[in-house]
A and B are shown apart, each in its own frame.
Chain A
Amino acid sequence: MSLTASSKVVTANDLRSGEVLYLRFPHSWTPELAKASVIKDSDLAKASLAFAQGQPNAVVGAYLSDVIDEIDGPKASHFRETFRSTGPSNYRHGKQEV
């Protein structure tokens, strides 16, 4: 086992709606970053990304994204990923909709 340089999650967009999704072990997708599975092992990171890329009829554009692993779940470490996890700032649309 070798550790990744930083904690990671697998993220992608939903094929049908385009919504941002995160991989949750073992085999499901969640729209909430806080519920995503955090990966620290580089072999597991590769395997998880391969799993996501092997689901072309569910998700599009899967990649590994750096996160900060906190007690209440992972937080994005880059502002772009923060915006992806929250939605636009001008309307309460997407993930901010009740």
Chain B
Amino acid sequence: MYEYSSFDHEFIAERVTQFRAQVARRLDGSLTEDEFKPLRLMNGLYLQLHAYMLRVAIPYGTLNSRQMRQLAMIAERWDKGYGHFTTRQNIQFNWPKLEDVPSILQALADVEMHAIQTSGNTVRNVTADHFAGAAADELADPRPIAELIRQWSTDHPEFQFLPRKFKIAVTGSPNDRAVTRAHDIGLRMIVQDGLRGFEVIVGGGLGRTPMIGKTLSPFVPLDDLLPYLEAVVSTYNLLGRRDNKYKARIKMTTHEHGIEEIKQRVEAQFAKIKPRFAGADLQLLKDIEQHFAPPKFKPLIAQVEADSAPAQTPVFRAWLDTNITAHKAPGYAIVSVSLKKPGATPGDASAAQMRALAKIARNFGHDELRISHEQNVILPHVHRADLPQVFQALRQADLAAANIGLVSDIIACPGMDYCALATARSIPVAQQIATRFQALKLEHDIGPLKLKISGCINACGHHHVGHIGILGLEKAGVESYQITLGGDATTEAEIGTRAGPGFGADEILPAIERLLLGYLKLRLDRHESFLEAYRRLGLVPFKALLYPQTRKAA
């Protein structure tokens, strides 16, 4: 993985020093809150409902064991012993004290991490396919490009005050696991006539006005990518609205001006700035690529392959069925570690669990870990012969939930348990649903399902692209939950359709239960997933399951 250059180290160290002085000036009264707030936000420090929250970037979701151990140390020393992994491949600490934050940033800098541009109207943490560098279906590892974009966008002088925040996601696989169509820019790697490049998608996004991104260019050769991206962001910087924050994202700019006008402007800007890059970006990319050389994979050992071993227990087999994905190297597997044990808070890991994951990655995973936008942890390179030991180690750390891609593998934002913007809670809803379906023992029967919960219209929980989405709102002074159906975060991305009126906090679990038990009767057979059945039948029969009283009244 990428190792900081001396420039990177100096830059981060300087920012820590600056922030230490800024915090001291705030505490001694030299800075007012109005003066200090933009400075703390530039360093990822928010003030939430009950405490400060520090959002730390995990670029393209990649961590090594040393970094994971350091996150555990920070959680124990300066927080309450856990961290929360988010849908943007960040980690959030929910309880830091203001005076401790400079020391936390120093501890992060010590392991080549930071919290810069995890807030504000800047290019945010660049996200990527969490199976990058490992997936069997991948054309090439997208992380060198993601790292190039990180370096280009970090402290980019032109892009520190964009009209609004700007999110970029990259995938190197035809099967989109990075939700590229719901980002300000989504990049999908394509090989055309032997030449590597990217489809550039713009104007996707969830939130108040969800939109699926549009293709700005079907193919930008790798050599042109960075100047092309600069042309896009530069065009947006000038054209994007600053008079109304709800109309400021590039999705609205694209909607208001039309994709053709944006394309013309971007191409004119690209022609102007391309010569200035003079190949420096490509030289840098070449250097970065060295850091992402694949690990030295061990050979396939047929006799000890885990999935042919005779002494498998049913729990191990169940885990293999749900938590393992095909790897590009023979004899290897990608392990998804669920942070969704039913009843637990989605995306949370204790310091002890982080250390356990670090140890497993070091011993069995070529020292690599990933954080997925689905709030799980990935061990991207595990030899199949090591799977039984990995499973045992995960069980000891209470990390062996066999539920990846099932109903209890729920994305949930922190909601009103933590977030100052939230309009309702998300976490208890996720806990109730996961616990209930575990008790019913129906998860495997229901099969693949993406259930996503947001505690406000900003949609950090990606509810619009959940097969079932739940949006928590306030209605007449109480929490109310709207259900959307038929959303899809993959290559065929789609925004879900609102099913009808919201449900009270005590009605949402029974509603989801009616919906899923009803689906079991509606589907053609057990091979037809919830989303497939919804696409075949449309909203009406599912709506009838959610609102049985309305049906009776009619």
Q: Is the CB of B50 within 8 A of A87?
A: yes
B47 in contact (CB, < 8 A): yes
CA distance A14 to B428 in the complex (A): 27
Q: Is the CB of A18 within 8 A of B50?
A: yes
Q: Is the CB of B49 within 8 A of A20?
A: yes
CA distance A80 to B424 in the complex (A): 8
List residues 82-135 of chain B with CB under 8 A from any CB of chain A.
94-95, 97-99
Q: Is the CB of A15 within 8 A of B477?
A: no
Contact of B52 among A18, A20, A93 (CB under 8 A): A18
The 10 closest A-B pairs by CB, nearest first: A18-B51, A88-B417, A18-B52, A57-B29, A94-B50, A90-B345, A90-B427, A16-B98, A17-B97, A60-B33
- 10 A–B contacts from the bound complex (CB under 8 Å): A15-B33, A56-B32, A79-B416, A83-B49, A83-B425, A89-B427, A89-B428, A90-B427, A93-B94, A94-B95
List residues 75-92 of chain A with CB under 8 A from any CB of chain B.
78-80, 83-84, 87-91
Measured CB to CB, the nearest residue on chain B to A88 is B417
Q: Is the CB of A88 within 8 A of B32?
A: no
Mask: chain B, 19-51; 1 = CB below 8 Å from A; 0 = not: 000000011110011000000000000011111
Mask: chain B, 427-440; 1 = CB below 8 Å from A; 0 = not: 11001000000000
B289 in contact (CB, < 8 A): no
B301 in contact (CB, < 8 A): no
Contact of A17 among B49, B51, B428 (CB under 8 A): B51
Measured CB to CB, the nearest residue on chain A to B98 is A16
B300 in contact (CB, < 8 A): no
Measured CB to CB, the nearest residue on chain A to B99 is A16
10 further A-B contacts with Cβ under 8 Å, apart from A57-B29, A60-B47, A90-B427, are: A16-B99, A20-B49, A56-B33, A79-B416, A88-B418, A89-B417, A90-B428, A93-B80, A94-B95, A95-B50
Measured CB to CB, the nearest residue on chain B to A87 is B50
A42 in contact (CB, < 8 A): no
Q: Beyond A18-B52, A90-B345, is A78–B417 a contact (Cβ under 8 Å)?
A: no
Q: Give every chain A residue within 8 A of B95 (Cβ-Cβ).
A: 93-94
Measured CB to CB, the nearest residue on chain A to B45 is A18
What's the minimum C-beta distance from B410 to chain A, rounded to whole angstroms? Answer: 13
CA distance A88 to B27 in the complex (A): 27
Q: Give every chain A residue within 8 A of B474 (Cβ-Cβ).
A: 79-80
A41 in contact (CB, < 8 A): no
Mask: chain A, 30-71; 1 = CB below 8 Å from B; 0 = not: 000000000000000000000000001100110000000000
B479 in contact (CB, < 8 A): yes
Contact of B417 among A13, A17, A90 (CB under 8 A): A90
Measured CB to CB, the nearest residue on chain B to A97 is B80
CA distance A13 to B479 in the complex (A): 24
B268 in contact (CB, < 8 A): no
Q: Beyond A16-B98, A91-B80, is A83–B47 a contact (Cβ under 8 Å)?
A: no
Q: Give every chain A residue within 8 A of B47 (Cβ-Cβ).
A: 13, 18, 60-61
Q: Is the CB of B27 within 8 A of A15?
A: yes
CA distance A46 to B90 in the complex (A): 41
Q: Beyond A17-B98, A78-B477, A83-B416, is A56–B51 a contact (Cβ under 8 Å)?
A: no
Q: Is the CB of B27 within 8 A of A16?
A: yes
Q: How many A-B contacts at CB < 8 Å in the complex? A: 73
CA distance A60 to B345 in the complex (A): 29
What's the minimum C-beta distance from B100 to chain A, rounded to whole angstroms? Answer: 10
Measured CB to CB, the nearest residue on chain B to A82 is B416
Mask: chain A, 1-38; 1 = CB below 8 Å from B; 0 = not: 00000000000010111111000000000000000000
What's the minimum C-beta distance from A30 to chain B, rounded to whole angstroms? Answer: 15
Which among B50, B98, B431 has the highest number of chain A CB atoms within 10 Å? Answer: B50
CA distance A87 to B418 in the complex (A): 8
B478 in contact (CB, < 8 A): yes
Measured CB to CB, the nearest residue on chain A to B478 is A79
Q: Give every chain A residue within 8 A of B50 (Cβ-Cβ).
A: 18-20, 84, 87-88, 93-95
Measured CB to CB, the nearest residue on chain A to B28 is A57
List residues 392-424 of chain B with CB under 8 A from any CB of chain A.
416-418
What's the minimum C-beta distance from A90 to chain B, rounded to whole angstroms? Answer: 5
Measured CB to CB, the nearest residue on chain A to B417 is A88
Q: Give every chain B residue within 8 A of A16 (Cβ-Cβ).
A: 27, 97-99
Q: Is the CB of A94 within 8 A of B51?
A: yes
Q: Give every chain A residue within 8 A of B416 (Cβ-Cβ).
A: 79-80, 83
What's the minimum C-beta distance from A6 to chain B, rounded to whole angstroms? Answer: 13
What's the minimum C-beta distance from B75 to chain A, rounded to whole angstroms? Answer: 13
Q: Give every chain A residue within 8 A of B425 (Cβ-Cβ).
A: 83, 89
What's the minimum C-beta distance from B70 to chain A, rounded to whole angstroms? Answer: 22
CA distance A48 to B74 in the complex (A): 38
Which among B28, B52, B425, B427 has the highest number of chain A CB atoms within 10 Å? Answer: B52
Q: Give every chain B residue within 8 A of A13 (Cβ-Cβ).
A: 47
CA distance A13 to B50 in the complex (A): 8
Contact of B477 among A56, A79, A87, A89 (CB under 8 A): A79
Which among A15, A19, A61, A87 has the highest number of chain B CB atoms within 10 Å? Answer: A15
Q: Give every chain A residue within 8 A of B98 (Cβ-Cβ).
A: 15-18
What's the minimum C-beta distance from A62 to chain B, rounded to whole angstroms? Answer: 10
CA distance A56 to B31 in the complex (A): 9
What's the minimum C-beta distance from B261 to chain A, rounded to whole angstroms? Answer: 41
Q: Give every chain A residue within 8 A of B477 (Cβ-Cβ).
A: 78-79
Q: Is the CB of A18 within 8 A of B48?
A: yes
Q: Give every chain B residue within 8 A of A80 (Cβ-Cβ).
A: 49, 416, 474
CA distance A84 to B422 in the complex (A): 12
Q: Give every chain B residue within 8 A of A20 (Cβ-Cβ).
A: 49-50
Mask: chain B, 532-546; 1 = CB below 8 Å from A; 0 = not: 000000000000000
Q: Give every chain B residue within 8 A of A91 (Cβ-Cβ).
A: 80, 345
